[in-house]
Amino acid sequence: MSSDAGDDDDVVHDFRPLIVVYKSGRLERPLATPPVPPGTDAATGVASRDVRLSAASFVRLYLPPPCAAVAGGERLPVVVYFHGGGFVIGSAASPAYHRCLNDLAAACPAVAVSVDYRLAPEHPLPAAYEDSAAALAWVLSAADPWLAVHGDLSRVFLAGDSAGGNICHHLAMRHGLTSQHPPHRLKGIVLIHPWFWGREPIGGEAAAGEQKGLWEFVCPDAADGADDPRMNPTAAGAPGLENLACEKVMVCVAEGDTLRWRGRAYAEAVVRARGGEAAAVELLESEGVGHVFYLFEPGHEKADELLRRIAAFISAK
């Protein structure tokens, strides 16, 4: 066997099922799925189309059918969604997220914008944060006719699962800590099974191990490892959560998810940061299911409940 062939088989980073990195530089993403095109969804009537924002990123917009709009032509809330995948896998064009966004746009109803961002290790963080911030700025500019005609930019929500939930937090904090955009432009954030971690275990967590390794792989410049404020927003020295630039927060956790303790801790920390105003934070715990279960089991009764609760959170005024 040649030395090149041997290098090709030598694994240097193994984060299965997300990504495997070989000594030769070859990458495997076991969960990757072929993209699906935009169009009109037969089940919901939601129309979708792609808009390229740069050579490296695009967004997929979703518009519910006319009958979903409320009487009088009132504009719809805007949901900007960031997919998960540990910053190493996932796409706005993946079948699971395409189905999820069709369902979400119809259920609210809302104009939805699903963001495709650059992935590590080809593009380590902060690339995903930068692409996501650029996409949010584009949404707020109402440059697209669907947003300009149908979207209510006083009701912009950020939503995302796992790494996407992490992005939501990062953008809401960035929104509040800079004067680039007026903070009132964000109505709320929805963090679904958000990927947060820390150096010291909490609740029933195991030692940092795999989570810490993956985080440092995607974010080589992480300060203090898993206690980097981007991974642990409640770490000592992290910017205060009172700077979250949104009116309300929803956090969703799952009983079978190792990230659930961090999600709960985040929700509790936001309540404290808002002076104990529990009504400003909604916590939904799904029993008997695991991490991002709704993407893999969309027909599950708990997936239906999750969708209903998120839709109610977004549509409430």
pLDDT tens-digit readout, 59-81 = 999 999 986 555 557 899 999 99
Q: Is 179 a catalytic residue?
A: no
The torsion angles phi and psi of 60, rounded to 5 degrees, stand at: -110, 120
Confidence of residue 277 (pLDDT cuts 50, 70, 90): confident
58 and 105, same domain (yes or no): yes
Q: How many CA atoms lie within 13 A of 254 on its CB side?
A: 23
What is the Cα–Cα distance from 317 to 313, expressed in whole angstroms? 9
Residue 176 has pLDDT above 80, yes or no: no
pLDDT of 147 over the 70 cut: yes
Provide the pLDDT confidence category of residue 178 given band limits of 50, 70 and 90.
low
User: Are 133 and 156 in the same domain?
Assistant: yes
Annotated active-site residue in 91, 132, 162, 286: 162
Give the whole-angstrom CA distance, residue 10 versus residue 122.
Answer: 19
Confidence of residue 317 (pLDDT cuts 50, 70, 90): confident
pLDDT at site 314: 98
Say if residue 224 is in the same domain as residue 281. Answer: yes
278: confidence class by pLDDT, cuts 50, 70, 90:
confident
For residue 170, give the CATH number of its domain: 3.40.50.1820
Tell me if 302 sits within 8 A of 179, measured CB to CB: no
Rounded to two decimals, the pTM is 0.94
Q: What is the pLDDT of residues 22-51, one digit of tens each?
A: 999 999 999 999 999 999 999 999 999 999
Residue numbers of the domain that contains 262: 35-315
Give me the amino acid identity at 230. R
Q: How confident is the model at residue 205 (pLDDT cuts 50, 70, 90)?
A: confident
pLDDT tens across 125-145, in order? 999 999 999 999 999 999 999
Spatial separation of the C-alpha atoms in residues 122 and 217, rounded to whole Å: 11
Q: Is the pLDDT of residue 237 over 80?
A: yes
Residue 153: the pLDDT is 94
204 and 258 share a domain?
yes
20 shares its domain with 146:
no
Is 156 found in the same domain as 82? yes
Bigger pLDDT: 175 vs 196 = 196
Task: Indicate if 90 and 8 belong to the same structural domain.
Answer: no
The answer to whether residues 64 and 143 belong to one domain is: yes
Sheet holding 47-52, edge to edge: 47-52, 58-63, 111-116, 76-82, 151-161, 186-192, 248-254, 281-286
> Are the beta carbons of 170 and 127 closer than 8 angstroms?
no
Domain count, the chain: 2
Q: Are residues 119 and 12 in the same domain?
A: no
Is the domain of 84 the same as that of 188? yes
Please give the torsion angle defined by the CA atoms of residues 305, 308, 313 and 316, in that order, rounded to the nearest 10 degrees. -140
